[in-house]
Amino acid sequence: MTGTARRPGGRTARVRAQILAATVELVARDGIAGFRYEEVADRAGVHKTSVYRNWPDREELVVEALLQYVDDLGTVADTGDLRRDLVDFLMVIAEGLAKPTVRALEQATHAIHESPAVRRAVTRILQERSAALRRRVDLATARCELPPIDYALFGEMISGPVHLIVNRGLRPFTRADAERIVDVVLAGVRATTPDA
Amino acid sequence: MTGTARRPGGRTARVRAQILAATVELVARDGIAGFRYEEVADRAGVHKTSVYRNWPDREELVVEALLQYVDDLGTVADTGDLRRDLVDFLMVIAEGLAKPTVRALEQATHAIHESPAVRRAVTRILQERSAALRRRVDLATARCELPPIDYALFGEMISGPVHLIVNRGLRPFTRADAERIVDVVLAGVRATTPDA
């Protein structure tokens, strides 16, 4: 097996992926300040020194663990039906909020004031997601389905209620909720934006 | 001073208020599972037994501490200007999210699955707030400024983005944000609700 260690899919890559996955789970459970390298190693089925050797800095470990999920978090489909694509986007967010990955990201956002590195990672992940939404909104604007809008606030307006409902956990977030949110915000944006 | 102990504003009332205030601060910092009776007593300037005697059950202590703030959290003014009252409501929420009281409530919402008592307290506080919003919306409906709407989702649609922006902390939440959110949601609700 000599020489295969650095090949993608090889042993090193697999070990790294296991360590990063374990990190995400533990950050989700214990927070960035609370998770322990020993437990990461236990969960990943590796020796503690493998974790320390690869990531001597715990912030770098957290940042890399979070960044692997950029792709999962930053997709908005283009089926040609804006309403449907946005409703699907909200359903993905709602389902994601129940996953360790995204809970880890949420935990991380509570720590952004303490750690510049984590702040940069969280900012980058949120920017990727917001860039994906922006690309989809640009298509809609080019197709004259939507006036030019403030992307950031638009994203916050449709996803904010999803976060609130899921995080409170007092009632389930349904597709009907997602549809109503998208309908109200789209209609409101069209009614209030100049040059609509 | 005999006989004054149970008078509102008397020594007992003051001690209780100090204990409840200390509890809120510590729940905000350490969570419901993490805060310690000893530290509550230290902060309140009382002996630990005063805390144990009055609240042998820690959930009851948390619940009572949170419920004192029902009034702070559940007010929506009626100046006759719906847009302004809703914008003010969002600014109060945004400012509140920086206070220990409300951070304690947010912490508590993370624990609602573990504790039925805390779940009831959080539910009640949110219901009080939502009842205040409902009273204001009812006035607007009676004045034909707004069609009949789903109060719960309306509240989530205007306050969800505030929570998201403030909790992420990547940019400040401004009055211009609050105005844009209220304008879009009001216009959207008017455009999409039957019998508007």
The answer as to whether B2 is a domain residue is no
CA-based nearest distance B93→chain A, Å: 13
Contacts of A126 in chain B (CB under 8 A): 168, 170
Mean pLDDT over residues B150-178, rounded? 91
State the residue for tokens 């493998």. Answer: A50
- DSSP for residue B98: T
Q: Is the pLDDT of residue A4 over 60?
A: no
Query: B189: which chain A residues are within 8 Å (Cβ-Cβ)?
Result: 184, 188
A49/A129 same-domain check: no
Which chain A residues touch B169 with a CB distance below 8 Å? 109, 112-113
Closest to B162 in 3D by CA, of B90, B85, B108, B86 = B90
Number of domains in chain A: 2
Is A21 a domain residue?
Answer: yes
- For A37-49, the pLDDT digits (tens) are 999 999 999 999 9
Cβ proximity of B185 and B157 under 8 Å: yes
Residues A147 and A172 in one domain: yes
Q: Are residues A158 and A134 both part of a single domain?
A: yes
Residue A5 lies in a domain: no
Same domain, A39 and A75: no
Q: Does residue A165 sit at the B interface (CB-CB below 8 Å)?
A: yes
Domain of residue A56: give its range: 11-64
pLDDT at B57: 87
B162 interaction partners in chain A (CB closer than 8 Å): 160
CATH code assigned at A22: 1.10.10.60
Greater pLDDT, B5 or B20: B20
ipTM: 0.75
CB within 8 Å: A190 and B191: yes
Same domain as A81, residue A139: yes
Whole-angstrom distance, CA of residue A123 vs CA of residue A64: 13
Q: Are residues A81 and A173 both part of a single domain? A: yes
| A113 in B contact zone (CB under 8 Å) | yes
Task: Examine residue A82 and state whether it is found in any structural domain, yes or no.
Answer: yes
pLDDT in tens, A136-190: 999 999 999 999 998 889 999 999 999 999 888 778 999 999 999 999 999 999 9
- A194 compared with B71, residue with greater pLDDT: A194
Are the Cβ atoms of B185 and A185 closer than 8 angstroms?
A: yes
Above pLDDT 90, what percent of chain B?
44
Taking the C-alpha atoms of residue A74 and residue B116, their distance in angstroms, rounded to an integer, is 36
Within-domain flag for A170: yes
Tokens 């939440």 found at: B173
- CA torsion, points A50, A54, A56, A61, in degrees to nearest 10? -110
**Domain match, A42 and A93 both:** no
pLDDT in tens, A83-137: 999 999 999 888 888 776 666 666 666 655 556 777 777 777 778 888 889 999 9
What residues 124-163 of chain B have any CB closer than 8 A to a CB of chain A? 126, 150, 153, 156-157, 159-163
Among the residue ranges A65-69, B6-10, B178-182, the one predicted with the least confidence is B6-10
B27 and B83 inside one domain: no
- Chain A: closest CA distance from residue B113 (Å): 8
Question: Can you give the pLDDT at residue A128?
Answer: 81
Is pLDDT at B128 greater than 90 in this prediction? no
Residues B185 and B101 in one domain: yes
Query: A143 and A78 share a domain?
Result: yes
* Residues B171, A130: Cα–Cα separation, whole Å: 15
pLDDT at site B97: 81
Q: Kindly indicate the confidence band of residue B3, based on its pLDDT and cuts at 50, 70 and 90.
A: very low
* Paired tokens of B58: 């820690």
Q: What is the pLDDT of residue A141?
A: 94
Interface contact flag, B184 A183, Cβ < 8 Å: no
Both A109 and A186 in one domain: the answer is yes
Q: Which of A112, A123, A170 sits opposite B123 (nearest CB)?
A: A170
- Alpha-carbon gap, residue A112 to A134, rounded angstroms: 24
Say if residue B61 is in the same domain as residue B124.
no
Q: Is residue B38 part of a domain?
A: yes
